[in-house]
Amino acid sequence: MINQKMFDLGAEPNKIRELFAYGLKRKAEIGAENVFDYSIGNPSVPAPECVHQAFVEQLQQDPVVAHEYTPSPGDPAVRKAIADYITSEFGISATAGNVYVTSGASSAIAITLSAICEPGDEVIAIAPYFPEYRTWTHTADCTLVEIPASVPSFQPDIAAIEAAINERTSAIIINSPNNPVGAVYTRENLQALAKMLAAKEQELGRRIFIVADEPYREITYGADIPYVPNLYADTIVCYSFSKSLSLPGERIGYIYVSDRMGDAQAISTAVAGAGRALGYICAPVMLQRVIAKCLGTPSDVATYASNRELLTQGLSELGYEYVQPEGAFYLWVRALEPDAIAFSERAKDYELLLVPSDSFGVKGWVRLSYCIARSTIERSMPAFRALMESYNG
């Protein structure tokens, strides 16, 4: 016997990974330079020098210490360094006890949902959304309630979220800067969301958490990125170093339970319990200590900014419709037919790997990940032209 739910999840196709795997196969067949792989968010910018230095330091110390277990929520010194960074950067008195070090944002969100939800609860996501929100919500035996973003701004639709909240709602996941559309939620919109949620908490006599999924906090093109715990007390931040330090395969991030919550300690205890239950304890020790040395190291946003410029200019000249990204490194482009899956399949004929929006809970668009080599973007333009021409006769 096996667990049917887990079997179904294992067997369920993940379009992003599928396209990524197809791209690897195709590159082996026809040469990497002939495949225009916009599928996955694997940063093309190398990790900063600080990371290299910190790794070397870790390797030069006593090898027993270098590879030891840390306490389940992380090395106390690392948790303190993260708390001190939050305090100095965002003006909140963060304490180490409310920081839980994780293997990236994935485990951070999975832990958080399991910690704050009871089976049968509802979790709201703003569509389009990161596909794994569905998985982690279902793992916590909860239902994901998808609320479309306002179009064309792709900001959260506060009235629609308000209408969806009921006595089973336990959390709303927000992600700004956003994957897949590149939107940055404005301060006004987040303030309105916070005000509405606080009123709903009063009305329903129930906690409603914001889970702020923030892997792209530092990847912006000049936009203001408010720190959500400063706007809404019941916020849990799920942070990742995958993008900010270009460490996606190293699996490191953290959960921060806002100290502005009166009962933050109890919530952190539930986080520790969920981490233990799911087996997400003692994040990789070397990475913990490396990131502690590199907190606040600036990301190389200039590369992504110039890719954004090149891609948007090229696609607009060809007549594609897209959402101007304010952050992250994704471009949300209107498919040239209503069925985005069919459009993505046709794009493959031109060696263009574009993720259909169905994966993100909406229809009719594709996502292009532009954290790739500039030369790939340059070389892909004739393919985009040919794809457009295939529709326009």
**Binding footprint of ligand PLP on the chain (CB under 6 A):** 41, 104-106, 130, 175, 179, 213, 215, 240, 242, 248, 253
- Closest distance of CB 381 from ligand PLP, Å: 26
Give the distance, in angstroms, between the CA of residue 366 and the centroid of all CA atoms in the same chain: 17
Contact 65, 57 (CB under 8 A): no
281, 282, 270, 235: which is closest to 256 by C-alpha? 235
Nearest-approach distance from CB 356 to ligand PLP, in angstroms: 17
Cα separation of 66 and 246, whole Å? 22
Task: Name the residue whose CB lies closest to ligand PLP.
Answer: 104
Which position has the token pair 């006595």? Answer: 167
Q: What minimum distance in Å lies between the beta carbon of 251 and ligand PLP?
A: 7
Compute the least distance from the CB of residue 216 to ligand PLP, in Å. 7
The string over 2-11, giving b where at least 16 C-beta atoms fall within 10 Å of a residue's C-beta and e elsewhere, is eeeeeeeeee
If residue 385 lies in a helix (H) or strand (E), which one and from where to where?
A: helix 374-392
CB of 41 to ligand PLP, least distance (A): 5
Specify whether the CB–CB gap between 328 and 341 falls below 8 A. no
Nearer to ligand PLP, 248 or 336 (CB): 248
Question: C-beta of 369: minimal distance to ligand PLP in Å?
Answer: 9
Q: Which is nearer to ligand PLP, 245 or 336 (CB)?
A: 245
What is the closest distance, in whole angstroms, from the C-beta atom of residue 100 to ligand PLP in the complex?
14
Q: Which residue's CB is nearer to ligand PLP, number 240 or number 380?
A: 240
Position 163, amino acid: A
User: CB-wise, 122 or 213, nearer to ligand PLP?
Assistant: 213
Residue 28 has a CB neighbour count (10 Å cut-off) of: 10
Query: What are the residue ranges of helices labelled H in 94-241?
Result: 104-116, 132-139, 158-164, 187-204
| Residue 8, phi then psi, degrees to nearest 5 | -60, -40
In 165-300, which ranges are continuous DSSP H helix? Answer: 187-204, 264-278, 285-293
Calpha distance 169→106 (Å, rounded): 21
| Residue placing its CB nearer to ligand PLP in the complex, 132 or 339 | 132
Omega before 76 within 30 of 0, i.e. cis: no
